[in-house]
Amino acid sequence: MTTTETGSDDVDDASRPRSSGDGGDPADETDDSGAATKRADVVEYVVPEMDCPSCAETVERSVQQLDGIDVVDPQVTTGRVSVTYAGEETTPTAITERIEKAGYTVENSSIEAQLSVPGMDCASCAGKVESALEDIDITEHDTRPTTGSVHVSYDPTSTSEADIVGAVENAGYEVTGSTGSESDTAGEAGDKRESVWRSSRAIKTWISGVFVGIGLLFEFALPGANFLVAAVLGRELLVADGVFLVAVGVAGQVIFRNGYYSALNRSLDIDLLMSIAIGGALVASLVFGESLYFEAATLAFLFSVAELLERYSMDRARDSLRELMDLSPDEATVKRDGEAVTVPVDEVSIGDVVVVRPGEKIPMDGVVQEGESPVNQAPITGESVPVDKAAGDEVYAGTINEGGYLEVEVTSEAGDDTLSRIVQMVEDAQSNKTDREQFVERFSSYYTPVVVGFAVLVSVIPPVVFGASWPTYIVYGLTLLVLACPCAFVISTPVSVVSGITSAAKNGVLIKGGNHLEAMGAVDAVAFDKTGTLTKGDLTVTDVVPLSGNTEADVLRCARGLERRSEHPIGEAIVTAAGAERVGDPQIEDFESITGKGVRADLDGTTHFAGKPGLFEGLGFDLSHVHATTDGGVITQTAEELCDRHDCLDLLEDTVPELQAEGKTVVLVGTEDELEGVIAVADEIRPDATETIDRLRDLGVERTVMLTGDNERTARAIAERVSVDEYRAELLPEAKVDAIDELTETHDGVAMVGDGVNDAPALATATVGVAMGVAGTDTAIETADIALMSDDLSKLPYLYELAGQANGVIRQNIWSSLAVKAGLALAVPFGYVPIWVAVLAGDAGMTTAVTGNAMRLARLRSQQETDTESTAT
């Protein structure tokens, strides 16, 4: 169980929980004196036995009975329960008790906290702090006067971090900061968790199975030895009956206990239904003499087996997330005082230099300071080929140093690195329910009462109205109770979503929620931004055409002055090219960006402009007749069409169209009176752009569209080369939004692919917004619905295929489980469904089947990775 107290200002922002409502901090309300007027706390419990939706509902109902409970969020796929509550009205201990009263065990795990106590600077000070800490209930404490810090380990059910801070401050020392973390992470818990098949419930189940077998032996193989042993309530009890009762007692103990808690919480779940079924069989046997001992024992044993299978299958699903969490190492080798010291990653600070040797995992996000080595970034970006890293390059926690020695300067705290954010978002993604999941939940709320009612009618009406056999139809009614639990089809969607999202994360695709995964699978139109998406985004100057007696250096010098303050990629390319030519810097004044057209500034006292041809047409220039500059009688290659003066160019009809037809963007430079030159800038098309679009088309995307602010001719040239179905040019940001709106009106779903920052409005407008190359970019990760962590366009077909398969798996799981349940239920009154078939096929079988079907998503790989593996073999 983990807890984070948010009512104390001593807790730093990194440790504050998010409010379940809006993501904000709920502990910021204060009165005029600065005292908190509202205290909202979040506590998270590890409840591994909560492995089905009905279990989650039972836990939620139980906890909601406490005062001060705001939100209860049970997550079946991770076996965790998050509770937001008012700290002044209830406590974590009370919440723990309610979970346990629902019949579920809460795994104990301690919390580690590190307090910053700068005034504790000697052994005597440390002694006073230690004495103060011994007066409160904590597990361990470690005072470190050399660093002015106190490390404590405590049980959050009995002690809060605020209590510890108060104890230290009561000793006379100010606590200036505090961080807390789980000492027992989910990954470690997974390693330490006992095997399902060796658990106490499993042992009881196997013992019960032995007694069921013995009972069957006496009942059918040795009828002569099946003699009378007792009379209970006037009913004969044979040897086999007694053995069956023992089997019920052994396996049914947990069932009846859980059923009792379900009844207390008014939850009509499988535990309560099975308790009623087994209890009903026993009552019919002992009170009415119907001899249903075998059926009761079979129910108890087979249902226990079913529960073990369900637990096992859910653990398999959870393992995929645990694998993500286990990627980052627990320790780091840090350079301190000239020596390499191995410390826990929690003790590594921003600015520390960590040493990463060949074969080791990089422990923290950072920048390479020394060394060169290929780094396997597959855990973050999904790239199948290691990426060469050298000084100045960024690296991520959890990636693997393949060859050389690296020294990395840490740029993020433990728990705030890219991998940690990915894990957290994958966990949070489960709360974004798909439309199908919401439908199933609504349907299940009607399904169980209807089937229970049907079971009562089947048990009573045939014997009463038609004189049918009571034992036969009571068994039919009990069989229907087994089928009344909707676990299989309720769990079918979330387990598929978790499998799909964690599989995507391992392949470098971060999906922010099951709803986005579902929406991506329904997309039939994909819109692409041009720059940085279909092209590499690395613009370079390819042509400089000086005009009116200016030199190339003159043109680049003026262009550099104009573009230095521009944030546009074209401006950056021009500034880079001018720097390479070592042209001078003019004095700049009164810089102004002219939206959608270009820029204006005073250079050395003269007003200059740089921008699209339309900007200069608006200034009154005749672009059809300008004079090119020659160099020693040799005219620029672009200027082939000359007038009688042998130096005239028609920019509108010849020069500009020719450059644009080559996919280049044209920028004119000049003053209010003179056109000084033409600069052409080009962006290289990604080598996998055409293949990606063709692959999307093969997978079922009906329309691909390129959206760009570039001119018509350049857009047409790029569109033809990458084979998109449609292009729209000269679009301002708001026009891109309009284009997405138009596509949405004519298609079921539209995905917009961009950089996640400049295209934020269009990404937000589309059905699904996909940002590319966002590893380490907080803004882009937060903005997009789906993020491609690497700058790899080939991940898009993988994403589309995964989403499509996930939707298919969800449909298969829902309808197959529903069909099996409905078919069995309708067949029960006709005597075609033995009770053991209902348990193994209708309950355990379907739950295991839908989980196994969902796990198939983990095997899907991107085309690039598949090709790489094929080449390697």
- Strand order through the sheet with 80-86: 2-4, 40-46, 80-86, 69-75
Report the distance separating Cα 342 and Cα 150, nearest Å: 20
Report the distance separating Cα 872 and Cα 402, nearest Å: 17
SS3 for 142?
Answer: strand
Q: Give the C-alpha distances (Å, rounded to integers) separating 819 from 2, 435, 483, 805, 824.
A: 40, 20, 12, 20, 8
The pairing of strands 373-376 and 366-370 is unpaired
Report the distance separating Cα 769 and Cα 781, nearest Å: 11
Torsion of CA 539, 545, 546, 548, to 10 degrees: -130
Report the distance separating Cα 626 and Cα 678, nearest Å: 11
Report the distance separating Cα 514 and Cα 191, nearest Å: 27
**Token pair recorded at residue 357:** 């040797």
Alpha helices of 789-830 — where are they, by DSSP H? 795-827
Q: In terms of C-beta distances under 8 Å and separation of at least 24 residues, what long-range contacts does 183-188 make, across chains too?
A: 183/109, 183/110, 183/111, 183/112, 183/153, 184/109, 184/110, 185/325, 186/46, 186/78, 186/80, 186/321, 186/322, 186/325, 187/322, 187/325, 187/326
Give the residue carrying structure tokens 């073990």.
308
Give the DSSP per-residue string, 488-549: HHHHHHHHHHHHHHHHHHHTTEEE--HHHHHHHHT--EEEEEIIIIIEEEEEEEEEEEEBTT
Number of residues written out for the chain: 873
Q: Give the C-alpha distances (Å, rounded to integers) separating 255 from 104, 299, 306.
A: 12, 10, 12
**Token pair recorded at residue 366:** 């950072």
Report the distance separating Cα 313 and Cα 28, nearest Å: 42
> Choosing from 346, 529, 683, 755, which is the catalytic residue?
529
Q: Give the C-alpha distances (Å, rounded to integers) separating 419 from 346, 386, 413, 551.
A: 15, 17, 12, 51
Report the distance separating Cα 297 and Cα 310, nearest Å: 20
Report the distance separating Cα 518 and Cα 514, nearest Å: 6
Give the residue carrying structure tokens 């998270």.
44
Task: Respond yes or no: is residue 741 known to be catalytic.
Answer: no
Q: How far apart are the first and last CA of the chain?
A: 45
HEC-encoded secondary structure of 750-777: EEEEECCCCCHHHHHHCCEEEEECCCCC
SS3 for 431?
Answer: helix
Residues forming a β-bridge with 197 = none
- Run of H or E residues at 679: strand 675-685
Report the distance separating Cα 131 and Cα 125, nearest Å: 10
810 residue type, one letter: I
Neighbours of 520 (CB within 10 A): 28
Under a CB-based contact definition with an 8 Å cutoff, are residues 777 and 756 in contact?
A: yes
Backbone angles phi and psi of 65, in degrees to 5: -70, -15
Closest CA to 348 of 596, 179, 570: 179
SS3 for 86?
Answer: strand
Neighbours of 365 (CB within 10 A): 27
- Which residues are catalytically annotated? 529
